[in-house]
Structure 1
């Protein structure tokens, strides 16, 4: 019974969420193309557009019902020489510049390094990304240091925040 209820419930939750998200802002997805040489000429890494999705915390939901786990989030910006005190800052700046080189607008939010969640695997009782089925209920782990919470409630909260952001957010 659990296996039969799982995929229907997750797919139904996704379909319902897409209906409620109609008209809500989406953010762009990007795929990293590493640095390479073309005819001996170096070509810098770039992030090419790969669609868009609604950002729902640890989840990204696409209009065609794909569910993704959030990776890194950057704002595209023109490359500039800067001094960084941390290597992580340098890497984030390189990603932001790669997004700009890939055609994203200055300041546009881009999701990179996302991964597809296998909803059918979750239905079989396997975990996929932050999703799992517990006692027949689809659950999501919104942080690596926390437990699972029901996916339905999580989506309700995240959709409300997306449609009505907190002041200053």
Structure 2
């Protein structure tokens, strides 16, 4: 078992009773009589959300977009980005998620690095023999053990008002 796998297994044990968030996949439905139907986001599992990582029972994923499912209602928008987020939230609701439920989409599966040659875009890296994670695109790498300890602690005991 690699150092990455050991750290992630320990985090899973600590998180056993912690709440999970839903994972979703965008589905473009078939046309009916040539008429396109609205896309849906369908459930495809659950994971613990640990910052830039999503941890499932048997995998680690990179976080993508996070939305809350909401009914599709007609409203005016000041920006096109607001309109797009509302469309995504409505697609999650159409796909079967409860009103207000958090859904992760656009996530991607990560392979646990075995050496220094891991892809530069992945948040997980082995740096000088230490499993590390990049917690932001512009940030540097930090030891994965400390990162997981902090994130698991925040999930198990969130600060007041969070």
**Partner residue of 1:160?**
153
Per-residue CA deviations over 1:116-159 (Å, capped at 9, x if unaligned) read 1111xx11321362111101111101011110000010000000
For CA contacts below 8 A with separation 6 or more, give which structure has more relative contact order.
Answer: 1
**Between Structure 1 and Structure 2, how many residues are aligned?**
160
Indicate the RMSD between aligned Cα atoms, in angstroms. Answer: 1.3
**Partner residue of 1:21?**
15
**Partner residue of 1:3?**
none
Q: How does 1:11-160 map to 2 (within 5 A)?
A: 11-34=5-28, 36-63=30-57, 65-119=58-112, 122-125=113-116, 126-127=118-119, 129-160=122-153
SS in 1 for 2:83: helix
How many angstroms apart in 2 are the aligned matches of 1:157 and 1:96? 30
Once the two structures are TM-superposed, the CA of residue 13 in structure 1 deviates from its matched residue by: 0.7
TM-score by length of structure 2 reads: 0.94
List runs of 5+ in structure 1 lacking aligned partners: 1-6
Q: Would you tell me which structure has more helix in proportion to its own residues?
A: 1
List runs of 5+ in structure 2 lacking aligned partners: none
Once the two structures are TM-superposed, the CA of residue 87 in structure 1 deviates from its matched residue by: 1.1
TM-score by length of structure 1 reads: 0.90
Q: Is the 8 A contact 1:36 1:45 kept in 2?
A: no
